[in-house]
Structure 1
Amino acid sequence: MDSLFSRSKISMSALTDFSNLSKGTQSHLKSVYTCLALAMLCAGAGATLYLLSLFKGLIVAVIGSVVCMVALGMTQNTPENMTKRLGLLCGFAFFSGTSMGPLLEAVIDIEPSIVPTAFLSTCVIFVTLSLTALISERRSFLFLAGPLLSGLSLLILLSFFSLLFGFSFGFQIQLYLGLMIFCGFVIFDTQLIVEKYNHGDHDYIWHSLDLFIDFIAIFKRILIILASKEKKKK
């Protein structure tokens, strides 16, 4: 019994063992996840405003998110530009949240409890995959770059054919394949952020944007999967 308990303690401690990461890398990751949390709050604000009918400009939201992302990429990562770049990240997240409004509205009409369930499920998946990437051997998941990009290309092709020929089965494949691909991107992007930092790229704002996109992509797909299942039940 004691040995069983001790094994449990060892496995739990392994989840917080980041000894393979330097103090500088750990500090950088804290900044990345702080920015990610801020982006999530802004996305939630955008979605809430849409649901309350206080901001319904979908075209403005789509254009705004693209403009903010391009502007963020074009603005130099310097201490003087930090506030501006943080504002652009928040703007991108806000507009991304707003553009999710119609999907959230449709899901709430089916079953309101799906939204918090999907969000919590996404958080659990995201945290689990992030920890997996951080406690694993350095660069061990960077080989996923090729398969993930190939999968993304296949996803685009499936989307095109589903749209062109109206294959509902193709949509289901696209949905689950997309979920798997973006789960893979969470692991890949997390390890890539560490490698970028170790090679002199300290742009934690842009790094948080990569993870934010992964999180939203997973959240959307879980929302649709749960809503589809609930709709079939009803």
Structure 2
Amino acid sequence: MDSFSSYSSQQQQEWAYDSFKNFGLISPAVKSHLKLVYLSLCFALLASAVGAYLHIIWNIGGVLTTFTTLGCMSWLLAIPLQEEKKRVSLLMASALLQGASIGPLIKLAINFDPSILVMAFVGSAIVFGCFSGAAMLAKRREYLYLGGILSSGVSILLWLHFASSIFGTSLFLNFMLYFGLLVFVGYMIYDTQDIIEKAHLGDLDYVGHALTLFTDFIAVFVRILIIMMKNADEREERRKRRRD
């Protein structure tokens, strides 16, 4: 029995060591590219936090900022890679406007319970770090097959959104929340490997890649925040019923 447990622990150590050696499959140029991508992502998240704060002060978030965000993102993707400063500026503008667009949700969370907002962000950061790291440690192209599956998942979400607008049942909304969270967590894995593969092939557009990961992070964060607020509200209602 002891020999089996020692063999098992040895196997686990070897597996962990081999997994971390997979970072060696990423060339130095790609590693430098990923540093720029994640640094840009961090600044984009800071810009989105500023945008949410501006909404709390001046109430600027809404449909207009949402369409403006899409316009800035489309403009960024249309600009040549040589115009780096303009593309970085558009990335920050897109992030700031995106933060203002989700500002009403963030303001609602703060009014309900500020700790939920903190836990949702920390949870999103942990999820992003774990799944993005798993994609880096995995073999090259291992998760790229997920692209077709995730695209089908987005199509299902669109049809469910259309159905919920007609029928308006809470069952559709609950399924859309959890299924959407699953889909965009999958996109974290897929997009990370896709970015690494593109970088190996010479595509070093760190601004566009940071924008991709930023949209994944925000999509996951919004769904985690809504789920946590919904669960907290249901717990509060159950407590009131027990008191009554």
For normalisation by structure 2, the TM-score amounts to 0.88
Deviation at 1:24, TM superposition (A): 0.7
Q: CA deviation at 1:67?
A: 1.9
Q: 1:106 aligns with which of 103, 108, 115?
A: 108
> What is the 5 A alignment of 1:196-207?
196-207=198-209
Which residue does the alignment assign to 2:80? 76
Rg comparison, structure with higher value:
2
Cα displacement string for residues 40-86 of structure 1 (whole angstroms, at most 9, x for unaligned residues): 000000001111x23525243123212211110111001xx111100
After TM superposition, the runs of 4+ consecutive aligned structure 1 residues lying more than 3 A away are 3-17
Aligned residues: CA RMSD: 2.0
Could you say which residue in structure 2 is the equivalent of 1:23? 28
Unaligned runs of 5+ in 1: none
> Comparing 131-140 with 5-14, which one deviates more in the overlay?
5-14
- Superposed, 1:1-234 pairs within 5 Å as 11=16, 14-15=19-20, 18-51=23-56, 53-78=57-82, 81-234=83-236
How much does 1:107 deviate? 1.8
- Aligned residues of 1:133 and 1:190 also touching (Cα < 8 A): yes
Distance verdict in 2 for CA 1:120–1:9, change over 3 Å: farther
| Alpha-carbon distance in 1 for matches of 2:161, 2:11 | 49
User: What secondary structure does 1:200 align onto?
Assistant: coil
Deviates more, 1:53-62 or 1:99-108: 53-62
The answer to whether the Cα contact below 8 Å between 2:109 and 2:117 also exists between their aligned partners in 1 is yes
CA distance in 1, matches of 2:20, 2:182: 23
| Structure 2 unpaired stretches of 5+ | 237-244
1:109-149 Cα offsets, whole Å, 9 max, x none, are 22211000000000000000011000100000000011100
Deviation readout 1:190-212 (Å, 9 max, x if unpaired): 00001111222111100110000
Residue identity in the other structure for 1:127: G
Query: 1 CA distance for matches of 2:136 and 2:73?
Result: 27
Q: CA separation in 2, counterparts of 1:10 and 1:143?
A: 24
Question: SS at 1:138's partner residue?
Answer: coil
Q: Residues 46 and 94 of structure 1 are in contact (CA less than 8 Å); yes or no, is this contact kept in structure 2? A: yes
User: What's the secondary structure of 1:124's corresponding residue?
Assistant: helix
Which deviates the most, 164-173 or 62-71? 62-71
- In structure 2, relative to structure 1, the CA distance for the partners of 1:55 and 1:106 (3 Å cut) is closer
Q: Is the 8 A contact 2:61 2:102 kept in 1?
A: no
- How many residues are matched? 230
